[in-house]
Chain A
Amino acid sequence: MRLVLPNPGLDLRIPNYEDLEKMEKEDGDRPKWDNKAQYILTCVGFCVGIGNVWRFPYLCQTHGGGAFLIPYIILLVLEGLPLLLLEFGIGQRLRKGSVGVWRAINPYLTGVGIASMLVSLLIGLYYNTLIAWIMWYLFNSFQGPLPWTQCPLNDNRTGFISECQQSSTVDYYFYRVTLNASASITDSGGLQWPIVICLLAAWTVICICYIRGISTSGKAVYVTALLPYVVLAIFLIRGLTLKGAMNGVKYLFTPDVDELMNPTTWLDAGAQVFYAFSLAWGGLISFSSYNPVHNNCMQDAVILTIITGLTSIYAATVTYTVIGFRATDKYDTCISENIRMLLNGFELPEDSITASNYNAALHHLNSSNPDTVFGLDIKTCDMQKLLSEGVEGTGLAFIVFTEAITKMPGSPAWSVLFFIMLLCLGLSTLFGNIEGVVVPLKDLNLFPKKWPQEALTGVTCLVSFIICLLFAQQSGLYWVTLFDNFAGSIPLLTIGLTEMIAVVYIYGIDRFNEDIKFMIGKKPCIFWQISLRFTSPLILLVILVFYLVTQAQQELTYLVWDPDYDEFPTLASVPYPSWINVVIFVLAGIPSLAVPVYALCRLVFVRCKKKMKPEKDINQI
């Protein structure tokens, strides 16, 4: 298949092989990695993020446990691996950041780079807010007992505040003390000062880590990329020794092969692979461009895929040992409570009903005195329900895990460890994110050329901090969820698809094969050929179409924390106000449309210039 779209002038825009060899020998002013380990750790840190801890385990458990690994691994290899090779290869070959690369391939494609930059910026904004929340919890973990173990007392000191009593101490701490969540996204309330200063801390930390570009962030990744693995190991050992841990692990990995027939399983697996690899953010292209020309990018792609896959499974196991422990603890408490009510209601001696004969005793009492039993309002204790509770996203980290930690002996230490791990996972992803924002801004000449790297980083962090104050309001949680749902999904898929088509059909897959041969020494084998040309673009297209279809069909609703809701503490599902459509368009539409809009503008600009040029020539005569 020799389908390549005409692309005049490509050779003039990109360095040829001799130039590359010359650049390799000279010490140019382009930043370089100190060693290969820094590069691999940076990429691993970028790909392994908070999503591996709080998204993958949930997907695994809801889509058939162990059986989910089958679509996940298949799509990891068919979709993730070729896209990784593409981004690594093109960055290493063209030695430019994301805007530079697409501009070099074809000036009309600069829109892809701009779209990547916009998406990285929008994602970076809400991601750093999550980091700010994690920092708040981290700062508050240095005390015993942890502040989320107790409810504050009400006015006459006979009980707890009703909001706390009805929900739970951890819910109250997250929604009221930390966020002071209002009841709707329109009700913005004031700024929450603790969150503002945590945001300040978060942006300052990012600023210092990235202040000289990869020369500082490359040193920081030694900690931020490796520490999570150490902490996960500690938690694994701790988790496996807790009571009920194996319940959780069994629940996670029990395979349900019927789920494989469900198309949403495959869609979710594909989407998770795509987002997990941080593809289309522009960061990976930038990082690869700092590599030596003959670096083996194919090997890197394979290594990164294996590491990400294994880390996801590892993190899922650890997460579910803790979830299993919490569910077992809650189940035991529920049973003890029921036993207590039965003993009190029937005035039976204390040891007559224990956990082991509870079911028999309940049955006996129910058959002899059904009315009394009914009057006691015994709750059914369901282990499966407890295991499936709130185990995704912020709910997992700030509610389920914090609750589980309070039940472990020595909870402040575990809390500190857990939040440091989440902090490191988030920071290492943000390095790639901010690389994907600052480098394109530099390439687009939006900053004066004289400014040093420190100034660029500083200005970007300052502006981002000011925009982030939106998330520090009382409705901040709802804005974060909005950004999470819309800024990071459709635009990324669109950009990823465009990237593949651009490299394979505009840059030319043959040229790409030759480049790989020049850089590594051998052409990519038949697997890469087929997947780059057909399978990966097709998979991306299918996922994109299904996403658009499901999003269009869904009602736009969101969950709010409303103490006045009837079924409080369940989150109320409330429709979005109508002006939210404008916001969604800004978040999802503008980055996606940047690609065609830029191409059109450039077309118009070039045509105008051509029209003006003949007139100028005539005037000169």
Chain B
Amino acid sequence: MLEKILLLLSLSLSVAEELCKPGVGEAYKVRFSIKTALGDQAYPWNKNEMFLFRAALAFAMRDFTNGEEFGVSDIHPCNETQRVSFWFVVTRPNTMDLVDKGTVEMAIKKSRNRINGAFLLTDKTLEFDGIYPTLAAPVSPDTPPWLIVFGVVMGAVSVGIIALLVYPLVQRKLKKNMDADDEDSDEETGVKTAENGANDGIYNSTFSDDERFTQM
């Protein structure tokens, strides 16, 4: 019994090794940069992490193909290095047929965030060679902010210009009114002294309204 199990295992292993050949066929290379991403809180890479990877990828395949029951045993890694990078292939459930590269790519793209999240990594620190992450578009607000600032500045400057132009005119009008008031109040009080350029002189009607006397 034990011998049979051992035989089966070694067979499957050898089959896996044959399926997964770096750089050939449907294999993808994946690279982890855990220390770069997490620094002091980096976890060591071991068999358990590898298991998590296979499980995550199996989930991605299930999610993409919508039902096909991929399992951990359908993900075959090989050529693991100290860098923490390795190649892998995906086989269809319960068979040894390789899933083509395109399907694997689309499945990974769909669930990229989930896979990243499982490892606390990002698109840059968990790299799949050949699968480019779709980049998030830069945020662009509806009204460009510069237009708002420009509007504020121009508004302030225009108000300033109008104020500076209108202020002396308003002052002149007020001064004229004040001068007229001064003239009225001066007529009531005493003697007029001729001041140079102050008033134009008070119009004394006694001397100029001749018509009243001559119209006899």
Contacts and interface: CB of A to CB of B under 8 A. Distances in A.
A350 B164 contact: no
Interface string B123-138: 0000000001011011
Interface stretch (B29-37, B60-68, B69-77, B175-183): B29-37
Interface string B30-61: 01011110000000000000000000000000
B164 A208 contact: yes
Interface in B112-149: 132, 134-135, 137-138, 141, 145-149
| Interface range, B side | 20 to 34
Nearest to B133: A158
A157 B134 contact: yes
Given A201-B153, A204-B154, A208-B164, A143 B145 contact: yes
Interface string A149-166: 010110001111000000
- Chain A interface: which size bin? 20 to 34
A208 B160 contact: yes
Interface in A137-189: 138-140, 142-143, 150, 152-153, 157-160
Contacts of A152: 138
B207 interface: no
Contacts of A212: 164
Interface in A592-613: none
Given A136-B146, A350-B35, A159 B132 contact: yes
B204 interface: no
A216 B163 CA distance: 13
Nearest to B144: A140
A160 B133 CA distance: 12
B82 A211 contact: no
B83 A350 contact: yes
Interface stretch (A311-319, A340-348, A373-381, A436-444): A340-348
B96 interface: no
Nearest to B145: A143
Contacts of A343: 83
A216 B164 contact: yes
Contacts of B8: none
Contacts of A197: 150
Contacts of A150: 138
Contacts of B146: 136, 139-140, 142, 194
A208 B157 contact: yes
A454 interface: yes
Contact of B132 (A140, A158, A194): A158
Contact of A350 (B33, B135, B138, B145): B33
A351 interface: yes
B161 interface: yes
A201 B154 contact: yes
Contacts of B134: 157-158
A142 B81 contact: no
B11 interface: no
Contacts of A211: 161, 164-165
B135 A158 contact: yes
A347 B86 CA distance: 10
B161 A142 contact: no
Contact of B149 (A139, A158, A350): A139
Given A142-B149, A143-B145, A207 B161 contact: yes
B85 interface: yes
Interface in A452-480: 454
Contacts of B132: 158-159
B83 A205 contact: no
B164 A347 contact: no
Contacts of B135: 153, 157-160
Contacts of A139: 145-147, 149-150, 153
B161 to A, nearest CB: 5
B157 A205 contact: yes
B84 interface: yes
Nearest to B129: A344
A344 B31 contact: yes
A6 interface: no
Interface in B155-196: 157-158, 160-161, 164-165
B154 A350 contact: no
Contacts of B157: 201, 204-205, 208
Nearest to B137: A153
A614 interface: no
A349 interface: yes
Interface in A188-223: 194, 197-198, 200-201, 204-205, 207-208, 211-212, 216
A158 B112 CA distance: 14
Nearest to A143: B145
A153 B33 CA distance: 26
A102 B99 CA distance: 90
Given A211-B161, A211-B164, A350-B33, A142 B145 contact: yes
A547 B47 CA distance: 74
A212 B164 CA distance: 9
A350 B85 contact: no
Interface in A307-362: 343-344, 347-351
B161 A350 contact: no
A350 B160 contact: no
A348 B83 contact: yes
B165 A454 contact: yes
A160 B82 CA distance: 32
Given A153-B137, A211-B161, A212-B164, A344 B83 contact: yes
A140 B144 CA distance: 8
Given A139-B147, A139-B150, 5 more contacts: A139-B145, A150-B138, A157-B134, A347-B83, A349-B82
5 contacts: A159-B132, A205-B157, A208-B160, A208-B161, A349-B84
Counting from the closest, the 7 A-B pairs by CB-CB distance are: A139-B146, A347-B81, A150-B138, A350-B35, A347-B83, A139-B149, A349-B82
